[in-house]
């Protein structure tokens, strides 16, 4: 079986838009091509929870008819999009990666999905996620664990919780995908799967209609093939002009020592150092900075996120349903019930203090730079019920991403180019809150210097 080429592999969103408007392709042909790729590849990759083939083709027909009659919805028109299965989509089930019915906590589709529809996007399906978006591994032994498309010989992790979204983009099973990020759940999978992941400033896009992991920390954002594609998505959904690539010379990056832990794998460190050296050679200044307060981030994140998750989930629901959950997720929710109101209030108070003083940490600096993950994508040990096995896997998938959420910053994972025989690494960029356009401009500039990540060799997957 020969499957169609990925319609956006050449030229990205901009190139696709040009071909669509010149009649070289259609929304129907593009959607059909992605559906064929899903049918061939996803039985092994397991990136989708639900594929809405008839609805997607019907929506594509409507897009083609609209374009033929002179109606143009903008640069995202006709692009098949995959949506993380903790976000409600009209006419599709939402499982939140769980066997527990939490539809009442999610509600109907929210403002973000209305924006996607208004932009002319075609939702092709729902991607798999870690249960309740509460883990950074990508593992979900009750509803299925997506496989990293960068290794056909070894089942490797995608990271989480936007596991299926990142893998689907990497494998060319959608034009771009939507994920959520509470503590790194967009950036982590983007790094492990070699795609671009954007965590916007909280509040830029509404999170209604998505599972409430943490009311304080949740964000919705895109996973794309490139920084350029992310900038186009950003502009289309915000109603602004596309952020242009920044001028390289004169950019100043801070390198927080806390983000470069001794846990950093040597091969990841070498890739990061090579990228930073190339940026420096192009005119970027990189300075080491000491921010001792970053050591407070993980405890604050745990207290705030688990307390808010337990509060939204409820003790009675947990009592009735905990046995239906992945054991590690059930244990995390249970820990949230043990957090006292005083502990939560103190954590929120300290968070606000750190957010206020963090603005000074960016004085004279355009962005922070660091790793996304400490290591490379580990092998999947298989379905498990042991909490110790879960903890070991979580540790293998860890990285310094939570500061952006706790401090109200915006951040991205920029995939670094690499040989086809090696595994992906992401370069993390972090900017002040509400500096999202600056973040995207920097990412685009760095992409021009470093180049773009290749697409994985998928010949070892699927029915060809």
* 84 belongs to the catalytic site: yes
Average pLDDT over residues 41-68: 98
Check residue 464 and give its pLDDT.
56
pLDDT at 462 over 80: no
Choose the catalytic residue: 135, 161, 165, 413.
161
Q: How far apart are CA 204 and CA 409, in angstroms?
A: 11
For 311-339, how does the pLDDT look when each residue is reduced to its tens digit (9 = 90+)?
999 999 999 999 999 999 999 999 999 99
For 252-293, how does the pLDDT look when each residue is reduced to its tens digit (9 = 90+)?
999 999 999 889 999 999 999 999 999 999 999 999 999 999
Check residue 383 and give its pLDDT.
78
Choose the catalytic residue: 162, 165, 185, 332.
185
Q: Which domains does the chain have, with CATH numbers?
A: 12-293+355-450 (3.90.1300.10)
- Neighbouring CB atoms inside 10 A of 312's CB total 17
* 249 belongs to the catalytic site: no
Check residue 11 and give its pLDDT.
96
* 185 belongs to the catalytic site: yes
Check residue 311 and give its pLDDT.
98
- Please state whether beta strands 220-224 and 285-289 pair in parallel, antiparallel, or not at all (unpaired): unpaired
pLDDT at 303 over 90: yes
For 389-427, how does the pLDDT look when each residue is reduced to its tens digit (9 = 90+)?
999 999 999 999 999 999 999 999 999 999 988 999 999
Average pLDDT over residues 33-41: 97
Backbone angles phi, psi at 173, to 5 degrees: -105, 10
pTM above 0.95, yes or no: yes
- Upper half-sphere CA count for residue 242 (Cβ side, 13 Å): 16
Tokens of 106: 């999610």
Q: How far apart are CA 377 and CA 373, in angstroms?
A: 9
Question: What DSSP line would sit under 297-353, residue for residue?
Answer: HHHHHHHHHHHHHHHHH-HHHHHHHGGGS-HHHHHHHHHHHTS-HHHHHHHHHHHHH
Choose the catalytic residue: 84, 126, 128, 373.
84
Check residue 454 and give its pLDDT.
93
Distance of CA 213 to CAs 44, 67, 179, 230, 406, Å?
Answer: 29, 39, 13, 24, 14
Q: Do 182 and 219 contact (CB within 8 A), yes or no?
A: yes
């Amino acid at each position: 079986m020969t499957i169609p080429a990925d319609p956006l592999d050449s030229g990205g969103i901009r190139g696709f838009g040009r071909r669509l408007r010149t009649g070289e392709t259609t929304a129907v042909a593009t959607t059909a091509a992605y559906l064929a790729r899903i049918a061939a590849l996803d039985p092994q990759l397991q990136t989708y929870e639900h594929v809405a083939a008839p609805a997607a083709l019907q929506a594509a027909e409507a897009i083609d008819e609209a374009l033929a009659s002179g109606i143009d919805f903008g640069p995202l028109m006709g692009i098949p999009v995959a949506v993380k299965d903790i976000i409600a989509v009209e006419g599709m089930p939402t499982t939140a990666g769980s066997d527990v019915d939490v539809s009442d906590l999610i509600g109907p589709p929210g403002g973000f999905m209305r924006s996607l529809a208004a932009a002319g996007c075609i939702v092709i399906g729902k991607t798999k996620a870690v249960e309740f978006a509460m883990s950074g591994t990508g593992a979900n032994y009750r509803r299925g664990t997506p496989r990293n498309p960068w290794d056909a010989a070894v089942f490797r992790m995608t990271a989480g919780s936007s596991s299926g979204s990142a893998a689907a983009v990497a494998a060319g099973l959608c034009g771009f995908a939507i994920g959520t990020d509470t503590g790194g759940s967009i950036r982590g999978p983007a790094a492990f799967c070699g795609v671009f992941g954007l965590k916007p400033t909280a509040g830029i896009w509404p999170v209604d209609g998505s599972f409430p992991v943490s009311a304080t920390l949740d964000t919705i954002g895109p996973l794309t093939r490139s920084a350029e594609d992310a900038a186009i998505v950003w502009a289309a959904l915000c109603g602004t002009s596309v952020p242009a690539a920044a001028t390289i010379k004169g950019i100043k990056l801070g390198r927080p020592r806390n983000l470069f832990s001794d846990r950093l794998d040597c091969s990841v460190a070498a890739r990061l150092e090579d990228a930073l050296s190339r940026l420096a050679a192009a005119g970027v200044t990189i300075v080491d900075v000491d921010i001792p307060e970053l050591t407070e981030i993980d405890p604050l994140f745990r207290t705030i996120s688990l307390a808010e998750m337990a509060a939204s989930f409820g003790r009675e629901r947990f009592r009735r349903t905990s046995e239906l959950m992945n054991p590690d997720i059930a244990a995390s929710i249970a820990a949230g019930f043990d957090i006292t109101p005083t502990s939560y209030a103190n954590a929120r108070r300290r968070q606000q203090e750190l957010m206020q003083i963090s603005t000074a940490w960016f004085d004279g600096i355009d962005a922070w730079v660091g790793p996304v993950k400490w290591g490379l994508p580990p092998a999947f040990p298989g379905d498990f019920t042991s909490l110790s096995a879960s903890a070991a896997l979580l540790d293998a998938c860890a990285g310094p991403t939570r500061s952006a959420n706790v401090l109200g910053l915006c951040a991205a994972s920029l995939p670094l180019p690499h040989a086809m025989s090696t595994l992906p690494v992401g370069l993390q960029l972090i900017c002040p809150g509400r500096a999202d356009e600056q973040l995207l401009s920097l990412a685009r500039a760095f992409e021009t210097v470093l180049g773009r990540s290749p697409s994985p060799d998928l010949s070892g997957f699927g029915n060809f």
